[in-house]
Chain A
Amino acid sequence: MESALTTAEPTHLAHQFDSLEQQQQTATLGMWFFLAQEILFFGGLFMTYLLYRWRDPQAFQAGSYTLDIRFGMTNTLVLIASSFTMAMAVRSAQTDRIKALVRYLVATGFFGVTFLCIKYVEYSDKWHHHHVPGPLFHFAGPMGQRAEVFFSMYFAMTGMHALHMIIGLGLLIWLLSGALRGRYSARYYNPIECFGLYWHFVDIIWIFLFPLFYLIGRHYHGVA
């Protein structure tokens, strides 16, 4: 028998791996393959954005001008803070500080919820101004209905991003309950590490969404 099988904690080492190290590297690699797929999944949305903005750049500038840059920038900083606390959570697991792990996971969840609350305020503001695409859509100024495509992209892309955040928060609760029951240690923290990669990926998507939606119309002068 392999000595690793007898010395490692049997509950954490799946039978197809020789060692915890091999198991961890395999899990991390699998997570990166998943993220590569996610890049192409969001890539389809970025492709559509590129195409429609190339087709009618003025409508995109006019639409962007109506977004509140203060909300956008605050949310970017909130997500960066949540990425930092997530990186610290992984580090706490690596160094076997489980109380700190719990604290950093809670902080990450707090920033994630803050982001979604700000997004909710923005969405309801768009709803009240009839900027949601559909039969009630109305956009004042020379662009008129041409701006609708900008808001379609805005809701599709920020909505898909927000859905990823909501799924992430669900996973975070699952990790938190595991951490509170002593499931993770410096020997075994694969789920924490892989979730961290997912969370940072979602942060990166927002790093591109913020300028592409909030920053392209700042010096728009209202004329096509």
Chain B
Amino acid sequence: MASPEPTSGHHIVPVKIYVVIFLALACLTVLTTAVAFVDLGPFNNVVMLAISLLKTSLVVLFFMHVKYSTRLVPLIAVGAVVWLLIMFGITMSDYMTRGWLGAGSSWPRP
């Protein structure tokens, strides 16, 4: 019954890679926490999001096997992020420009 050849055609990732990714994610968590205590002004946000995006890439590529999958899978993932950025972009371009024509903002900041 048990045929030895893998029927799924899936790439089996070596354990060593999973361990390295786990350690990298843990180190990046400690790093992002440490950087938060240093006052970099607005660049705190930049560093924070860059580290989060790096961690996400590691999880998606290795834990979620996107590095070894067909091209269709990254297309779906990137497509979702593109639509997300469209939502952020259009919504913020509305709220950030409301006071520009001198009529006063309909949503004043405290």
Contacts and interface: CB of A to CB of B under 8 A. Distances in A.
B91 interface: yes
Interface stretch (A31-39, A119-127, A163-171): A31-39
Interface in B55-110: 55-56, 59-60, 62-64, 69-70, 72-73, 76-77, 79-81, 83-84, 87-88, 91-92, 95-96, 107, 109-110
Interface residues of A, number: 60
B49 A91 contact: no
Given A20-B7, A47-B87, A55-B110, A215 B36 contact: yes
A211 B13 CA distance: 30
A185 interface: yes
B37 A47 contact: no
A40 B80 contact: yes
A200 interface: yes
B59 A84 contact: no
B63 A200 contact: yes
A223 to B, nearest CB: 14
A215 B15 contact: no
A25 interface: yes
Q: In the complex, which range does the number of interface residues on chain B fall in? A: 35 or more
Interface stretch (A72-80, A128-136, A153-161, A173-181): A72-80
A117 interface: no
A220 B27 CA distance: 25
A146 B44 contact: no
B18 A84 contact: yes
B59 A203 contact: yes
Given A44-B87, A83-B63, A216-B48, 4 more contacts: A80-B22, A80-B25, A80-B26, A87-B62
Interface of A: 8, 20-21, 24-25, 28-29, 32-33, 35-37, 39-40, 43-44, 46-47, 50-51, 54-56, 59, 69, 73, 76-77, 80-81, 83-84, 86-88, 91, 94-96, 146, 185-187, 189, 196-197, 200-201, 203-204, 207-208, 210-212, 214-216, 218-219
24 contacts: A20-B7, A21-B9, A29-B76, A40-B87, A44-B87, A55-B110, A59-B110, A73-B33, A77-B26, A83-B22, A83-B25, A83-B59, A87-B18, A88-B18, A91-B15, A94-B6, A94-B12, A186-B8, A187-B7, A187-B8, A200-B63, A208-B56, A215-B32, A219-B38
